[in-house]
């Protein structure tokens, strides 16, 4: 089942996003997502682990038809207050999505895999219900920020005590075991301390810098190309071995 955020976790998580530094980081993550994902207006999207709805608001601003799912009723309460009736919200788990195959054009899992019990199963479900593209956003195992979070968790209780972190290589390997060699692209942001937002923003949006494997946030887009296996079947036919005149020709 993974870790389900309680009332206090949900409030603390939502309050974290009000911090100017975290809001700046969120803007960088959103920018990376848009650059990689390239969502088209009017398409349907499932936000898996939608949390308190900040991501849902961003998707609505992009003109998408949005559905959110999260296991925490407290997270969903906060999300419902933000999106009102502009998005469909469901309570459920990433490993067991209550939707049909290829039901959505897009799906996203942003800081969701960190808190699920079976990341591979969660990705399998995301690929199952999506027909176009899946965006995966995770906290980078090899980033300095992740190291700081783990150290802080030794001395005080934080929500990141319940999180597992990933690397680009780990994500690629999990995806390959599920789908094989399918098209994917990735980038990272939050490479530098936020001493000067304007200067750092210019650096963070550089395509070369985003290819560093050490940014605090990894964004990855996967195209779950359908895979088919063909089998040769024997074809039975009756052959007429009789020799005679061919209709339409005059016998000599």
Once rounded to an integer, what is the mean pLDDT over residues 27-44? Answer: 94
The per-residue pLDDT of the chain, averaged, comes to: 87
Q: CA 109 to CA 46: how far, in whole Å?
A: 9
In a domain, 32, yes or no: yes
Residue 248 C-beta-side C-alpha neighbours within 13 Å: 0
Q: For 57-75, what is each residue's pLDDT tens digit?
A: 999 999 999 999 999 999 9
Strand 65-70 and strand 88-91: the pairing is parallel
Strands (E) in the chain, as ranges, are: 44-48, 65-70, 88-91, 104-110, 130-139, 184-189, 217-222
Q: CA 46 to CA 100: how far, in whole Å?
A: 12
Q: CA 123 to CA 51: how far, in whole Å?
A: 17
Q: For 88-135, what is each residue's pLDDT tens digit?
A: 999 999 999 999 999 999 999 999 999 999 999 999 999 999 999 999
How does 93-117 read in b/e, with b if 16+ C-beta sit within 10 Å? bbbebebeeebbbbbbbbbbbbbbe
- The reported pLDDT for the residue numbered 248 is 46
For the cut 70, the answer to whether the pLDDT of residue 154 exceeds it is no
pLDDT band of 252, cuts 50, 70, 90 = very low
In a domain, 139, yes or no: yes
- The reported pLDDT for the residue numbered 126 is 98
In a domain, 172, yes or no: yes
- The reported pLDDT for the residue numbered 18 is 84
- 81: domain CATH number? 3.40.50.150
In a domain, 250, yes or no: no
In a domain, 244, yes or no: no
In a domain, 232, yes or no: no
In a domain, 194, yes or no: yes
For the cut 70, the answer to whether the pLDDT of residue 230 exceeds it is no
Once rounded to an integer, what is the mean pLDDT over residues 164-189? Answer: 95
Strands (E) in 9-61, as ranges, are: 44-48
For the cut 80, the answer to whether the pLDDT of residue 176 exceeds it is yes
Once rounded to an integer, what is the mean pLDDT over residues 139-168? Answer: 77
- The reported pLDDT for the residue numbered 17 is 83
pLDDT band of 247, cuts 50, 70, 90 = very low
226 contacts: CB under 8 Å, gap ≥ 6? none
In a domain, 171, yes or no: yes
Q: Which of 34-43, 164-173, 219-228 has the lowest mean pLDDT?
A: 219-228
Domain range for 167: 7-222
Number of domains in the chain: 1
């Amino acid at each position: 089942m993974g870790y389900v955020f309680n009332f206090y976790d949900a409030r603390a998580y939502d309050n974290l996003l009000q911090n100017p530094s975290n809001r700046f980081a969120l803007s960088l993550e959103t920018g990376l997502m848009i650059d990689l994902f390239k969502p088209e207006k009017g398409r349907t999207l499932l936000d898996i682990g939608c949390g308190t709805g900040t991501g849902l608001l961003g998707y609505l601003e992009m003109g998408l038809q949005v559905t959110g799912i999260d296991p925490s009723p407290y997270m969903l309460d906060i999300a419902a207050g933000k999106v009102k009736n502009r998005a469909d919200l469901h309570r459920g788990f990433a490993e067991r999505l209550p939707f049909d195959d290829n039901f959505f054009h897009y799906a996203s899992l942003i800081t969701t895999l960190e808190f699920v019990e079976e990341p591979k199963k969660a990705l399998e479900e995301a690929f199952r219900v999506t027909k176009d593209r899946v965006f995966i956003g995770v906290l980078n195992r090899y980033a300095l920020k992740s190291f700081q979070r783990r150290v802080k968790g030794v001395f005080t209780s934080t929500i990141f005590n319940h999180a597992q972190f990933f690397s680009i290589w780990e994500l690629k390997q999990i995806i390959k075991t599920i789908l094989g060699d399918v098209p994917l692209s990735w980038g990272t942001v939050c490479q530098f301390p936020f001493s000067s937002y304007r200067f750092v923003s210019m650096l963070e949006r550089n395509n070369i810098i985003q290819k560093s494997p050490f940014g605090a946030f990894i964004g990855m887009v996967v195209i779950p190309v359908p895979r088919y296996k063909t089998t040769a079947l024997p074809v039975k036919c009756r052959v007429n071995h009789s020799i005679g005149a061919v209709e339409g020709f005059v016998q000599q």
